[in-house]
Amino acid sequence: MTRPKIIATDLDGTIIPFDGHISQRTIETFTKAHDLGIHIFFITGRPPRWMNEVREAFSFGTGVCGNGAVIYDFHKNEILEEWLISVEDLNKATQALRASMPSAVFAVENHDGFHREQKYLARWDLGIDDAGSAQIEEHFDQPAMKFLVRSVNHELSSDEMLEIAQKELKGIATATHSNSSESLLEISAIGVSKGETLAKLAQRLNISAADVITFGDNPNDISMLEWSGRSYAMATAHPAAQAAAKSIAPECNDDGVAQVLEKLLIADA
């Protein structure tokens, strides 16, 4: 029950409720942790441009975006460090997935923003790249933070897509997903994950995994849930995330992360 030295949390479905906003209880709990000298990392699949809500809620903390691809100072709107998918590996990944997943359509997030194929239906990026491209390769003129794959008409589930991609992209890129119902894969550079980047950050602070607590709810959180000494999957989390975590937190709509932290923050340092 000792106080952690690092708190690392996912956002959506973890501290941001479904169809909701970060609660005052969660803001107050994280503020107390920060005031106690605990390092706070908001580790998400979101790109940096989706961090406005976090900026408005917290005057502290560091963002890790794109499932570990980018360390982001969301207060200064500045990318501090990044690990991108090379153009060569973007092409290899596209070829492998077109061959193994006929229903696949693609989008990419790079320094120019979000770009999609015409058949890729954007859920959260409506109004961006309305025209789309015939083929995503038109936007492979630079490395990418994140490569996105959808299955048209939900022919394959996110879990089915992930099983295929982990086999086909071995040695090329890292595949995961953050939503079971979206038929959507999120692909990063080889070796890039939330857990890998969190481990780098902790090492730089000379903090061991034993002094880190993590929270998450989906397969893209598994690497950090497994790595940290203490980890919690949400009560509504994907079964694979729950299997990877050491403990289960109450659901996000009940401020589950805040509930866990409130008890830990009164513990001895």
Interval 95-110: pLDDT, tens:
999 999 999 999 999 9
Q: What domain count does the chain have?
A: 2
Q: Looking at the structure, do residues 98 and 167 belong to the same domain, yes or no?
A: yes
Of 126, 159, 189, the domain-final residue = 189
Examine the domain organization and report whether 16 and 91 are in the same domain: no
Closest residue by Cα to residue 160 from 97, 106, 67, 111: 97
Of 189, 205, 225, at which residue does a domain stop? 189
What separation, in Å, do the N-terminal and C-terminal C-alpha atoms of the chain show?
Answer: 9
Specify the length of the chain in residues: 269
pLDDT band at 269; cut points 50, 70, 90: low
Q: Tell me if 269 is assigned to some domain.
A: no
Q: How confident is the model at residue 268 (pLDDT cuts 50, 70, 90)?
A: low
Query: Where residue 19 falls among pLDDT bands split at 50, 70, 90?
Result: confident
Instruction: Specify the pTM.
Output: 0.95
- Rounded to whole angstroms, the Cα distance separating 235 from 247 reads 10
User: pLDDT tens, 117-174?
Assistant: 999 988 777 666 677 899 999 999 999 999 999 999 999 999 999 999 999 999 999 9
Q: What residue numbers bound the domain in which 11 lies?
A: 6-83+193-264
Q: Of 154, 173, 189, at which residue does a domain stop?
A: 189
Measure the CA–CA gap between 83 and 71, rounded to whole angstroms.
Answer: 9
170 and 102, same structural domain? Answer: yes
**133 shares its domain with 183:** yes
